[in-house]
Structures are given as C-alpha cells and as structure tokens.
Structure 1
Amino acid sequence: MIRIASEDVGLAEPGALRFTLEAKAAFESLGQPEGDLAIYQAAVYLACAPKSNAVYLTEKRVKKLIRESGAMDVPLYLRNAPTKLMRELGYGKGYIYAHDDQVGAAQLDYLPAGLGQRNLYEPTEHGFEKRIKEVMDARTKLKRSRKD
C-alpha cells in the first residue's frame, strides 16, 4: 500500500503516503486483530483517493534526460560558496533567494545551461496536482512577463 500511495496516488493526494505509513505503524504497534482496522482504513483511503502517476513519469523523463545528456555542470549561481576560493570562482554569484521575491519564486534556471528550459514534471488535473499546476502556470506566466 505504501507503493500505491507513492506511485499510483502520488501528489494528487499527498497525505496518502503519510496515511499508509501511519497505518503500517499502527498495525505494527497493535498487531492483529486490532491493527487490521488501520490496514483496512488505508485500503479504503487509497481506493477512494484521486490518482496520479505524474511524479513516476517525471522520474522516467529525468533518468532518460540524464542518460542522453550525460554529466553536466550545475550552474555556478546554484553552487554553495562556503570558502573564499569558491566565492572568487563565482560560486553562488547571482543566486536569488526565493523567499526574498514578492511571490516566492526566484526567476532562475535550475537546469544546466545546455539543457535550456524544460518542464520535466507535468502535473495532472487530479486532486492536489490541479493546484500545483495552477501555481506552476502562474510562475511561468510571471517569468515571461519579467523577461519583457
């Protein structure tokens, strides 16, 4: 059931993973027959939850991209600069702290330069992913407006 919560329900119902882990813990704590109820509750919860495999599909796209592109450098502005040498080499220069932005969305490219702009995660319209999609769309629109 934990796998179902993660792979089949996914972010359409983010609480499903926690719910199934808590059911497992309750079962392990109580044993049978009392713990069976927690397992039954988790089964019903998962059966009724909205479904999305968008994160699972994203994992496949990411792995394919890595295979095809090979190792690429992390952009310098995303690299930590704990030493003077790293700062001199430009690590962290130009980094924008998302919390300082009005909408909490730093307008940075997070992928290596050779990959350009891509959306590897494509949320569905199911459950909570609908809200994630709305946020992603709003940030894309904002990013385009800031470039103009």
Structure 2
Amino acid sequence: RDLARGIHPAVLTDRGLDAALSAVASRCTVPVEVTVELDSRPAPAIEGIAYFTVSELLQNVSKHSRARSASVDVWRAEDRLMIQVVDDGVGGARLDGGTGMRGLAERLDAVDGLFVVDSPPGGPTTVTAELPWRDRTDGPGTPGGGAHGRSAPGRR
C-alpha cells in the first residue's frame, strides 16, 4: 500500500483513474477502449493498485497478445472495485507462466483482492481483478462502504 501511495503518477493523483488509465491506454500498441464508471474515487492506495494492475496488463497485451484491440472496464459493485481487461489476441496467458501475472495476483491477494485469468489458447483473454472498495475518507484497514455503488450484471 505504501508503495502505491508513494509513486502515483501526477495524472492519477490530480484527475483520477479515468484520466490515468486513458493515458496508459494511449501508449498501448493496440487500440484500447477505456470505460470507467465510478461515482467517487477510491482511497489512494486502492486507486494506485488498480492503476498499476491495468498498466501492467496493458503492457502484457502489447508484448504478448498479438491482439488487434483491447478494452478496460472499471466499475464499483457494492464494496468492490472491479477491473476487467479483455483483448482479442492469441490467448494462453497463465498465472503460472512467469512472474508477471503471478505477481499481480499476489499484489491483489495482499489487500484481500482477487485476480482471475481466463485465456484459452486461441483467445480471447479476459482478466478480472477485484479490490476492496475503500472510500478516500476511510482510515487504514477500514472497509469502505456500503452498498451505494452500482452492481454490474452482464459484465464480460
């Protein structure tokens, strides 16, 4: 958490996930559609982990997927910050295939998050990450909350 707090890019600190993820997506080697549907900003540590997770996933898309396009969706489902990155590449991404994906899974697990990879050979690849929602005003370790976020039925 301290690492995420200490190295936030300025655009994330100043303008939030939508602007920061759009900037990351613009550097990807394939076109990326970014949709962020949040009524408020999560705590800086959670926002930072979300940013770095998407950033690393889009680097993987650029390096390994041979995709023609990708999408990033971010939304809140009650007390969870949901992230989904999808690409139309060749698939075959695995948690045990190297340190990158495993490291992401471990980073999310450390904050009671989840990280799921669905990437059959031939594609597409869908990575879903969940982080606990903590409001910007919550103290350390205090779950953010309530059920005033929107649910997301029908997501990929």
TM value normalised by structure 1: 0.29
More helix by share: 1
More strand by share: 2
TM value normalised by structure 2: 0.28
